[in-house]
């Protein structure tokens, strides 16, 4: 089955810096790649997603890039703010929208 | 739109007892997913339904776990008998379609088995 690896597991940045989180996947048939943000004690919430026919997608300070050949995709957060501190999960889906999640990255943004 | 509604928010039970978790998906969503979240294993997909029919239950850890979706607006996840290792946050999520639409998660049920 699908295997998703996410790196790094923890990331600490200064406010205003950029943060990059990377995920690799194993199934070349996967075609949908969402990112979720989970604040402490709350539910995961979708922040951005990308489909396999697109190489990059941007939404204000966040962007996702996809390299289907290498089977990896990345989340980029620019101009980080303290409220960006959370756990971020990548996920991968093929066919039946069965999302397989990465292990998560705990991002800490220090003022 | 009230979102995905889960109950109870917290459940503390003794080992061996039956536990039932409940979920009401967003109206109009026809796919429903049950996930379990722990520090050690992250977010694990247990089972998912499409149009009230179970599609894949390969993630259900063992026979003690069962899930049903009797209609489009209600699903249950049952653990009988419960064990301390079942302690986790259980999330229900729903989406418009089986094909590549982002999920909306409920607030989760934090289960503690003592």
For B1-34, how does the pLDDT look when each residue is reduced to its tens digit (9 = 90+)? 679 999 999 999 999 999 999 999 999 998 999 9
Q: CB contact, 8 Å: B95 with chain A?
A: yes
Report how far residue A68's alpha carbon sits from residue A51's, in angstroms, rounded to the nearest whole number.
Answer: 10
Task: Work out the burial of residue B51: count CB atoms within 10 Å of its CB; fewer than 13 is exposed, 13-18 middle, 19 or more buried.
Answer: exposed
Residue B84 DSSP SS3: helix
Q: How far apart are CA B114 and CA B106, in angstroms?
A: 24
| pLDDT tens figures, B73-93 | 999 999 999 999 999 999 999
d(CA B108, nearest CA chain A) in Å: 7
Q: Can you tell me the distance from the alpha carbon of B5 to that of B63, in angstroms, rounded to the nearest whole number?
A: 26
């Amino acid at each position: 089955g699908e295997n998703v690896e996410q790196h790094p597991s923890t990331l600490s940045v200064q406010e205003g810096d950029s943060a990059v989180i990377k995920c690799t996947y194993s199934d070349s048939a996967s075609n949908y790649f969402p990112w979720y943000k989970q604040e402490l004690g709350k539910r995961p919430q979708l922040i951005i997603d990308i489909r396999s026919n697109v190489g990059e997608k941007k939404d204000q300070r966040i962007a996702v890039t996809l390299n289907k050949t290498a089977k990896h995709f990345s989340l980029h957060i620019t101009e980080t703010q303290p409220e960006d501190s959370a756990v971020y999960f990548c996920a991968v889906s093929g066919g039946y929208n069965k999302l397989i999640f990465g292990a998560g990255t705990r991002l800490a943004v220090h003022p | 739109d009230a979102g995905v509604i889960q109950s109870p928010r917290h459940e503390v039970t003794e080992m061996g007892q039956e536990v039932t978790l409940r979920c009401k998906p967003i109206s109009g969503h026809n796919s429903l997913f049950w996930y379990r979240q722990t520090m050690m294993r992250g977010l694990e997909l247990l089972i998912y339904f499409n149009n009230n029919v179970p599609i894949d239950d390969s993630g259900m850890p063992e026979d003690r776990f069962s899930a049903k979706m009797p209609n489009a607006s209600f699903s249950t996840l049952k653990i009988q008998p419960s064990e301390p290792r079942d302690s986790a946050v259980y999330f229900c999520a729903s989406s418009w379609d089986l094909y590549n639409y982002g999920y909306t998660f409920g607030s989760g049920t934090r289960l503690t088995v003592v």
